[in-house]
Structure 1
Amino acid sequence: MIHQILKDKPTKLFISFAAFFVANALIAESIGTKIFSLEKLLGTSPANFKLFGESGLGFNLTCGVLLWPLEFIMTDIVNEYYGPRAVRRISYTAVALIAYAFLMFYIAMGVPPADFWYSTGVKDGVPDMSKAFNSIFGQGMWIIFASITAFLVSQIIDVTVFHRIKKFTGEKKVWLRATGSTLISQLVDSFIVLFIAFKIGKGWSWQLVFAICLINYAYKFTMAIVLTPVIYFAEKRIENYVGHETARKMKLAAMGKEEE
């Protein structure tokens, strides 16, 4: 059985996609505790603009956004060749493993630290390693719940929009269904995270929620456009790997169609 799996290129490709998809999602969630300044990264002055009555705003983003655009690209690629059921399967797997990982983080935070470990980071400017560890991994439950919920809902929306566009465009206009589905799903993703984690969890005003949502979405919108050529590059590499005819059959099967 295992030999058949390892010899089948579409199967091996799906396993690789699923592994990268889950790993990328887990890493994005783990590094999401750090907020960085996009202006500083680009070497520009702080934007300092006003939205919905909220002033002094800038492009301060979670490090998770560095990886999430790749997740939506992977969704579109898997959707194109394996269909919505495959996307849902890897999405549910990712959510389950993210939840498991955060459970393990909390267990690790609760384990009594060794006495000598408290001060092992003093020379590096970390006076209490245990507090530092808990600070990094101890995200609030609202944020964790918000992130997982947003990820799952946005993935389902991405799949649905992708296939509805493809029904009208056929095999043409890959950029339209890939970018269009990503733009819609990432808007939903941005709003759900902020609504659950900060409107419900922290009592933010609607004005602040909408302002931060638009700032985050502006970045995601830009990245979705910039990374569109990656879809075409990936499709070319996939067809070279599995063969043009096999790729054609995979796309037909993904759409629930019989071979023509």
Structure 2
Amino acid sequence: MIKDLLNDKPTKLFLIFTSFFVANALIAECIGGKLFSLEKLLGLPVHTFTLFGQTGLSYTLTAGVLLWPLEFVMTDIVNEYFGPKAVRRISYIAVGLISYAFIMFWVAMSVPADSWWKGSKADAGIPDMQNAFSSIFGQGMWIILGSLTAFLVSQIVDVTVFHKIKKRTGEKHVWLRATGSTVVSQLVDSFIVLYIAFKLGNNWSWQRVLAICLVNYSYKFVVAVVLTPVIYLMEHRIERYLGHDTAKRMKAAAMGKEHPLEEPVPGI
């Protein structure tokens, strides 16, 4: 039975998507504590600007934004072939495992550090490895709560918008439902994480929250548009892997419809 299950192409595809989805989300959370300058990355001069009365703004972003757009691409692909129930399931799995990871980070930070290890990198400019370790993995609880809440809510929004668009367009305009659902869900994601982590957790002003939200979202919006061809490339590769008939049946089942000439694909 296990051999048949693992040889089933739709099942193998779902396992691959789920594994990448969870790993990508966890890595994004782990590297999210680093900030980088987008202007410097692109070799451009850094210019500050004012938005909603908040001065000194620039494109300083968390390293997590390098990976989060891929998460929404994967959401759209899973939604296309497996439906909203599958997206919700892997989203819950991801949130559960990320929560587990942060608990283990806390345990690792709490166990007594060896005295030799604490000073082992002093020559490299790190006088206390315990403080360095805790600084990297010890994100504030408000940030963790904001990030996980934003992730879960934005995934649900993405699924909902995606299917509303697909019900109107059918199989046409893949770019519209993929990009449209992503740009809406990314706005929700950007606002919720900043609101919980910094408005509630650090008493930021509404002007600062909205200004930084818009800066972060403008980057995510551009990346969502740039990644649209990736959706077409992945769908092309998936159709080649599954075969046209199987892919068509899966898409119909994802929309709650049965292909007229075939048996429906069992729900995952």
Instruction: Report the TM-score when normalising by structure 1.
Output: 0.99
Distance 2:17 2:205 in 1: 39
Distance 1:248 1:72 in 2: 22
SS in 1 for 2:56: strand
Distance 1:4 1:225 in 2: 39
Match of 1:178 in 2: 178
SS in 1 for 2:36: strand
Match of 1:67 in 2: 67
Match of 1:31 in 2: 31
Deviations 1:37-57 (A, max 9, x none): 111111111120100111111
Distance 2:99 2:66 in 1: 21
Distance 1:98 1:181 in 2: 24
Match of 1:97 in 2: 97
Deviations 1:76-122 (A, max 9, x none): 00000000000000000000000000000001000000110111111
Match of 1:18 in 2: 18
| Pairs aligned (count) | 260
Structure 1 gaps, min length 5? none
Match of 2:88 in 1: 88
Report runs of 4+ in structure 1 exceeding 2 Å deviation.
Answer: none
Shift of 1:240: 0.5
User: Residue type of the partner of 2:183?
Assistant: L
SS in 2 for 1:167: helix
Q: CA RMSD in A?
A: 0.5
After superposition, where does 1:27-176 map in structure 2 within 5 Å?
A: 27-176=27-176
SS in 2 for 1:50: strand
Distance 1:40 1:259 in 2: 51
Shift of 1:258: 1.2
SS in 2 for 1:240: helix
Structure 2 gaps, min length 5? 261-268
SS in 2 for 1:139: coil
Distance 2:84 2:50 in 1: 40
